[in-house]
């Protein structure tokens, strides 16, 4: 694996007998394709590879294209998000339209493409990528983290987050950035709180949009029912999912949000916007609800409907746990990855 480093450190890191990380101290993001090509070329001459896989079909993908052209290696690209032709992503940065053009060209020329949702797979096929070259392989999840939770510890956390007057706990976990559309979440919560004064929302995460989010909470007068937790340490995250009654994801776009699978693994149902990966992880009406993007009115409507039947909500959480175990378990996905890379390598 070749990665970009910012501190100038060029020492290779050994993560396992069969996994080496080689740094590329690139001066900028745009310089990485050239620098990664030089490092990859040196490694190819010393070790010899059967294929090259890139993290994305854009800047990393360009490095892969150069290595394929120089050494005749099959090229496999990964798309872990919903970026290509996504109107929200295209507007976020000036460079994104140019990166989008690169991505559209590269997915058509790659020997194989890995996506993380059926929606992304259908999009690439519509763009002209042969169906046999696109595989939907989701995130391998460590579900054991959710099997060893201490119930007493979870209940203690729940009591702390609910406070003295709360009885229903809603949870958001993620970066507070434009992509996540936290304002839609907060506006929906204002409506929920008007009907369910016992509901509390915990927001775990931080980011550039936090100040605006807190200002909106104050504007709507719901400071008493919304709590900003900041960054939660990764080992502690399963406790928060297990403590919640309902997980909420208001994003404008995703690839296949890992948090939906993690909430499900903890036995918690979800309400999510209709983003890529939502229909893979959430079964509408069985393990949660899926609503259109940027519709706080519909979001709050579905939240209130699920909260109205506590017994059904618990049953949905149990069904969610069962569903994701069959999708993202290591025993399911590892053989699929091996088959995917083996078929790609045979194209050499």
Q: What is the pLDDT of residue 144?
A: 87
* Tokens (6 digits) for 132: 């046999």
Spatial contact of 282 and 260, defined as CB atoms under 8 Å apart: yes
Label residue 10 by pLDDT band (50, 70, 90): low
Asked if residue 325 has pLDDT above 80, the reply is yes
Asked if residue 348 has pLDDT above 80, the reply is no
Collect all residues with Cβ–Cβ distance below 8 Å to 217 and sequence separation of at least 6.
186, 223, 226
- Between 13 and 137, residue with greater pLDDT: 137
> Across residues 84-90, what is the average pLDDT?
96
Q: What is the pLDDT of residue 198?
A: 97
Domains of the chain (ranges; CATH) run 2-139+331-345 (3.40.50.2000), 143-328 (3.40.50.2000)
- CA–CA dist 295, 293 (Å, integer): 6
pLDDT in tens, 250-299: 999 999 999 999 999 999 999 999 999 999 999 999 999 999 999 999 99
Q: Is residue 220 exposed (0-12), middle (13-18) or buried (19+ Cβ within 10 Å)?
A: middle
Q: What is the pLDDT of residue 88?
A: 95
Q: What is the pLDDT of residue 69?
A: 95
Least confident of 72-76, 263-267, 289-293, 332-336: 332-336
Asked if residue 93 has pLDDT above 80, the reply is yes
- Between 204 and 47, residue with greater pLDDT: 204
Q: What is the pLDDT of residue 7?
A: 65
The backbone torsions φ and ψ at residue 233, rounded to the nearest 5 degrees and listed phi first, read -55, 135
How distant, in Å, are the alpha carbons of 139, 216, 282, 310, 317 from that of 305?
30, 24, 17, 10, 15
pLDDT in tens, 113-150: 999 999 999 999 999 999 999 999 998 888 888 989 99
Q: What is the pLDDT of residue 321?
A: 95
Q: What is the pLDDT of residue 108?
A: 95
Strands 19-24 and 13-16: antiparallel
Label residue 26 by pLDDT band (50, 70, 90): confident
Q: Give me the half-sphere count of Cα atoms (radius 13 Å) on the Cβ side of residue 56.
A: 16
Mean pLDDT, all residues of the chain: 94
Asked if residue 16 has pLDDT above 90, the reply is no
Helices 96-109, 118-127: inter-axial angle, 10-degree rounding = 80
């Amino acid at each position: 694996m070749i990665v970009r480093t910012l501190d100038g450190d060029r020492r290779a890191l050994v993560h396992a007998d069969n996994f080496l990380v080689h740094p590329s101290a690139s001066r900028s993001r745009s310089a990485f394709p050239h620098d990664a090509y030089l490092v990859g070329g040196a490694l190819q001459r010393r070790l010899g590879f059967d294929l090259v896989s890139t993290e994305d079909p854009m800047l990393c993908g360009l490095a892969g294209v150069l290595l394929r052209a120089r050494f005749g290696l099959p090229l496999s690209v990964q798309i872990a998000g919903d970026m290509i032709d996504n109107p929200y992503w295209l507007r976020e940065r000036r460079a994104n339209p140019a990166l989008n053009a690169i991505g559209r060209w590269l997915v058509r020329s790659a020997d194989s493409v890995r996506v993380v949702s059926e929606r992304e797979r259908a999009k690439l096929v519509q763009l002209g990528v042969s169906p046999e070259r696109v595989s939907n392989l989701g995130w391998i999840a460590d579900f054991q983290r959710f099997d060893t939770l201490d119930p007493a510890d979870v209940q203690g956390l729940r009591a702390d987050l609910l406070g003295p007057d709360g009885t229903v706990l809603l949870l958001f976990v993620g970066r507070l950035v434009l992509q996540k559309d936290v304002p839609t979440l907060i506006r929906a919560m204002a409506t929920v709180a008007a009907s369910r004064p016992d509901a509390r929302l915990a927001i775990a995460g931080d980011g550039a949009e936090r100040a605006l989010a807190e200002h909106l909470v104050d504007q709507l007068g719901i400071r008493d029912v919304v709590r900003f937790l900041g960054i939660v340490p990764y080992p502690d995250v399963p406790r928060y999912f297990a403590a919640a009654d309902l997980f909420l994801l208001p994003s404008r776009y995703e690839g296949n949000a890992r948090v939906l699978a993690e909430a499900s693994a903890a036995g918690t149902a979800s309400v999510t916007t209709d983003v890529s990966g939502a229909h893979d992880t959430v079964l509408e009406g069985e393990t949660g609800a899926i609503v259109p993007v940027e519709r706080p009115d519909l979001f709050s409507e579905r939240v209130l409907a699920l909260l109205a039947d506590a017994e059904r909500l618990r049953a949905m959480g149990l069904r969610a746990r069962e569903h994701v175990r069959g999708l993202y378990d290591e025993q399911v996905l590892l053989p699929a990855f091996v088959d995917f890379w083996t078929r790609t390598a045979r194209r050499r």
